[in-house]
Structure 1
């Protein structure tokens, strides 16, 4: 006796009616409800239906995953990153491997469309690790909620208003101009962002110097004893007033005992939270995957060249072989120009340096740079590795969460 196997199909670009069915499934699966996902997707003016993928079982939509195209900085280079989110399967169809099949098909599609990296946020790491995704740990800092410190008399703190959005965009761009992992936010992105669920989960305060906005910050609306600082960006002239803006944001959360913040070491708040005995908190949910490695290395070539030009190697001539997994990329540096080739460059008079990476370690070096305790800078090869992958003050803001 034979049993009919269900007909499973993986596809993308749903019709409006099919998209509503996807929102219905997400409403059943997630406590935040279907409107959370509907608002995130349909309030995005850059949304393309081809980024919505779903599985049907006997022509019934049973599972879906969304690709959120992101432009992420690595220094002065911009990468094309596929953010994976809105992963949901109808409980009646679980255990059939639908989400895995969708994700595999999406990765193939992203590789063909020259996405450099994939990014997702997950708490169930082994499931995604089986599919080639790797966790790159981060840290945040937890402090007891500080008392409010008023700004100096020339400044005032005001609530966000749409009339200031262009000034916020300008502050964000100046502060994050070459900051690795930050999203490139154009004007359309900003106008969409303030309509998205993550923004609505926060309060935003602005620091005004009497002529213009010089800093802004967002803090989570929290019903627990902890609130998360989503982001706080500022112009150089406002650095001395950052603590006032931060404590004003904290003051909005009188019901919280603690504030948590991801901070880079060059942020004004970093030294402040260290001075008040901050506790470092591990954050283990950011996972990455190498997609189109040829596209990635091609984009990074100009960044590598700039880093060599700014180093002690700037007048040298050399061959560099990047060994990434089972792929080799050949770089020739001479006359202050870096040339990339997929075949070995015949320059026998030049010194050749071999730098080996697993794909996940290469991504980690791109995002975080080398670590002093991992690099033996006594060898020229490792000194070169430190120059090509310097310490990065990288951050992916919670505001851009997918």
Structure 2
């Protein structure tokens, strides 16, 4: 059948719970998840289909259909993230895929346009995603905003036990104190996701059955830190370590070190520029850093209305041009005004712009992943030096933390 006739058959519409089996089949094909993979993690096909039903009920799932057959799809999860202490509605883009026989027809581009429009309608002014192709998503307006640092510590390099007033208790991963600790952590950590039930389900979806938790309780018996971990073949694997203060961090590492006779090494990941090697007596450890999550501003005016700029001695103004490869409402010349309290306002228009950005560059800059001076130096945007210095003063100096996966 001709390309034109096939195109006439295609329809874009919502993917509903009744399409759950097709939704899963497409995901498994695109990401090459085999039956052996599923068995490794203790999942049966029936269980996977059931586990995806909440997504299809609570997420915004869009797809192209060829008749009744789902042939291209994406999902937007309703999440929230902390941006410098302000809670933003965030659209989490995932489940992106198209069967290869329908590729190169612009189907995904149209799906993304619809998804981004829906995010804007839902006041989700920023979107996160895990990139399976960084160049592809950069062309669509996303940019890297967080890193994942994977480390390996030998048993002989484990920190020596240090006295703390509290103690660690092992618990099931469903223990309510874990969510309580994480909620406190997320509310004080820039970039972090505030995990709703869907976020927790996605975060723990593919974990082994033998994963357990260790919770640190301080001297007043208050939970202030936790580990999610498992031990296999003499390796202590850390999925997540969350602590609200240095005491809890020390207490959790005491617990890890207490496994000295059982393990040969510890493997885990850090999602912020924490100096783990510096904190160890023997800092000659193996560390690997890689880009992790990407983000894009969905609506620049909406984003700036909430954004907390640094306090200033006087009001500041910046006129700039903005380019977005997909969204017309992010195109044009804008005037940013920031008052002494750090409250910003963005108006369309302005004369003599002194800077020019694309939306990926502006996203990573405002999220604090890369500084304005660095981005200007490597040619990611054009600006005079006065505007670069202004942006350096306006943007809080803190890199984002993001440890979730969806």
Q: Normalising to structure 2: TM-score of the pair?
A: 0.74
Structure 1: unaligned runs, 5 residues or longer: 347-351
Shift of the 124–239 alpha-carbon distance from structure 1 to 2, 3 Å rule, reads: closer
Task: Note the C-alpha offset of 1:216.
Answer: 0.4
**Which aligned pairs between 1:93-242 and structure 2 lie closer than 5 A?**
98-136=107-145, 138-146=147-155, 150=161, 152=163, 154-161=165-172, 164-165=175-176, 167-185=177-195, 188=197, 192=201, 196-198=205-207, 202-209=211-218, 211-219=221-229, 227=237, 229-242=239-252
Shift of the 232–283 alpha-carbon distance from structure 1 to 2, 3 Å rule, reads: same
Task: Note the C-alpha offset of 1:394.
Answer: 1.7
Secondary structure of the equivalent of 1:128? Answer: helix
- C-alpha contact 2:148 2:270 (8 A) present in aligned 1: yes
Shift of the 221–104 alpha-carbon distance from structure 1 to 2, 3 Å rule, reads: farther
- Segment drifting more, 229-238 vs 56-65: 229-238
Q: 1:320 aligns with which of 307, 318, 321?
A: 318
Shift of the 160–322 alpha-carbon distance from structure 1 to 2, 3 Å rule, reads: farther
CA distance in 1, matches of 2:232, 2:110: 36
- For 2:267, the equivalent position in structure 1 comes to 259
- C-alpha contact 1:370 1:389 (8 A) present in aligned 2: no
After superposition, the C-alpha distances for 1:226-278 in whole angstroms (9 at most, x for unaligned) are: 94543332345434424324546x86994x7562422434x574632595124
- C-alpha contact 1:243 1:269 (8 A) present in aligned 2: no
Equivalenced residues, count: 377
After superposition, the C-alpha distances for 1:269-319 in whole angstroms (9 at most, x for unaligned) are: 46325951244423235333332222112221xx11xx22xxxx33x2432
Q: 1:74 aligns with which of 73, 80, 83?
A: 83
Secondary structure of the equivalent of 1:365? Answer: helix
Q: CA RMSD in A?
A: 4.1
Secondary structure of the equivalent of 2:187? Answer: coil
Task: Note the C-alpha offset of 1:84.
Answer: 1.7
Task: Note the C-alpha offset of 1:121.
Answer: 1.4
Q: Normalising to structure 1: TM-score of the pair?
A: 0.75
- C-alpha contact 1:154 1:209 (8 A) present in aligned 2: yes
- Segment drifting more, 283-292 vs 77-86: 283-292
- For 1:359, the equivalent position in structure 2 comes to 359
Shift of the 274–294 alpha-carbon distance from structure 1 to 2, 3 Å rule, reads: farther
2:64 aligned with 1:55: yes
Structure 2: unaligned runs, 5 residues or longer: 39-44, 324-330, 378-383
